[in-house]
Amino acid sequence: MKKFRQYFLAQLKRVWKAFPFIALMTVLLVGCMAVISIAMLRSYNSSDKKQKLEIGIAGDTSNNYISFGLMAVQMLDTSRFYVDFSQMSEEEAKSRLKAGEMTAYVVIPEGFAEAFDAGEDAKVTYAAANQASGLGSALTNEIVEIVSNVIYSSRTSINGIWSFMDDYDCPEDPNVVSDDLFAEFMNLFLGRTKFWSVNYLGADGSLGFISYYVIAIMILFMLLWGITGSSLFMKRDVSLAKFLKAKGQGILLQISAEYLAYFVLMAGTMLMIFMPAVVVMAKANLILPEWQNDPVSQGITFVVRMLPAMALLAAFHFFLYELITNMVSGILFQFIMGLGLAYLSGCIYPLSFFPESIQRLVPFLPSGLAMKYGAGVMRGVSVGTEMAGIVLYLALFLGLAAIVRGRRMKA
């Protein structure tokens, strides 16, 4: 026990000496991930906007039917999620189309409604950017089709009502009647906006998207953080391991002391990063549904409860470094393995995006197990099975590290 304690304390001293370099690498890693996250977020937001078509409406929109019609088209299920209609002058519409800020614009000529009513050949002009094909062009064509159909159908309906009233000698003003009916019809359209509610099931079927990605980013960061341990593990002389063994400190004792010191380093660093991150999230009003009661306290509790996942990933890093002793290869290997496992485990794209066969395999990967454990902790459910898995993985990685070291000592 005394030998273990002495060696463990020596390893903690090593960790302390190496800490400035590790802290610097950690800051760089946080910076890189922050830059990438912000760039991705901005790209997502702008591409979200770019996915929506903007169509300008110019000309005479004073007529009630045209106004109602435009409103109807905007509220239609088939167009409301990917089309924005904006009213503007024709000059403005032309310049915005030329600048590429709009997909197309429609010009309703003066007196269109009256001419249409009188049965004259009234046409709406549709101007688009020069696209021979493409989604924008196809969608705009569809919208024009829809608008024409709506106008035609409503005109037909109005004529039908008037004819009915004529047939039955109704004394009311047919224009007033058709206006009232049309208004009633529009109310139904507008009323339809509230007949559904959206319940986001989230990426893993149980957690919200943000909660899922909080865990995913944590796991991804912990996986990539393994590269910062290079200064501790590289250029190690196997002669020290031989020397320790000759002095009665066997391989398992060596591995245990070194791993524990590394875990202390990793846990300390993660707590120093994630705890303030939780506070920042709360201040920025980014409150997860699971942390509604007390975002800071519940968030910090969550971070602390993630220590077993940190232990698992620390053991993973430790094993990889035992396997590869060359510095450059070691860092590359850590990076590739970390990123690969993060990708497969749903840290980058949600797990639900992957085929069923992959989804079944993932909980057995160390990173997948860490994700599953994190999800369980987040939801506040029992994580006994996941903990058992973590303990097994710890034994596996440290056992394999001991075997590798034994072989290196014999060489």
Partner 1 sequence: MIMTEIKNIKKKYGKKIVLEDISFSVQEGKCVGILGGNGCGKSTLLSILAGVQKADNGSFLWEGADLFADGKVRSEILGYVPQGNPLMEELTAWDNLRLWYDKESLKKELEEGVLAMLGIPGFIRVPVKKMSGGMKKRLSIGCAVANRPKLLLLDEPSAALDLVCKERIGNYLRDFKAQGGSIILATHDVPELELCDELFIMKEGVLEPYTFDGNVHHLVGRL
Which chain residues interact with partner 1 by CB under 8 A?
6-7, 10, 13-14, 17-18, 235, 237-240, 242-248, 409-410
Q: Read off the tokens for 397.
A: 């990685």
Residue closer to partner 1 by CB (options 171, 248) is: 248
| CA within 13 Å, CB half, 357 | 0
CB of 244 to partner 1, least distance (A): 7
Residue closer to partner 1 by CB (options 121, 237) is: 237
CB of 209 to partner 1, least distance (A): 43
Q: What angle do CA 318, 319, 323 make, to 5 degrees?
A: 120
Does residue 100 come out as left (phi exceeding 0), alpha (psi in the -120 to 50 range) or beta? left
Residue closer to partner 1 by CB (options 399, 406) is: 406
CB of 242 to partner 1, least distance (A): 5
CB of 336 to partner 1, least distance (A): 27
- DSSP helix/strand/coil, 108: strand
Could you give the CA distance from residue 208 to residue 211 in angstroms, rounded to a whole number? 5
Residue closer to partner 1 by CB (options 49, 247) is: 247
Measured CA distances, 242 to 71, 272, 321 (Å): 81, 36, 18
CB of 312 to partner 1, least distance (A): 26
Name the burial class of residue 276, with classes exposed (0-12), middle (13-18) and buried (19+) by CB atoms within 10 angstroms of its CB. exposed
Is the CB of residue 189 less than 8 Å from the CB of residue 79?
Answer: no
Residue closer to partner 1 by CB (options 94, 408) is: 408
Residue closer to partner 1 by CB (options 194, 235) is: 235
Residue closer to partner 1 by CB (options 188, 246) is: 246
Residue closer to partner 1 by CB (options 243, 349) is: 243
CB of 37 to partner 1, least distance (A): 34
- Angle between helix axes 64-75 and 174-191 (nearest 10 degrees) is 20
CB of 255 to partner 1, least distance (A): 15
CB of 271 to partner 1, least distance (A): 23
Pairing mode of beta strands 83-87, 53-59: parallel
Closest-CA residue to 299 (of 264, 273, 267)? 273
Does residue 169 come out as left (phi exceeding 0), alpha (psi in the -120 to 50 range) or beta? left
Could you give the CA distance from residue 285 to residue 294 in angstroms, rounded to a whole number? 12
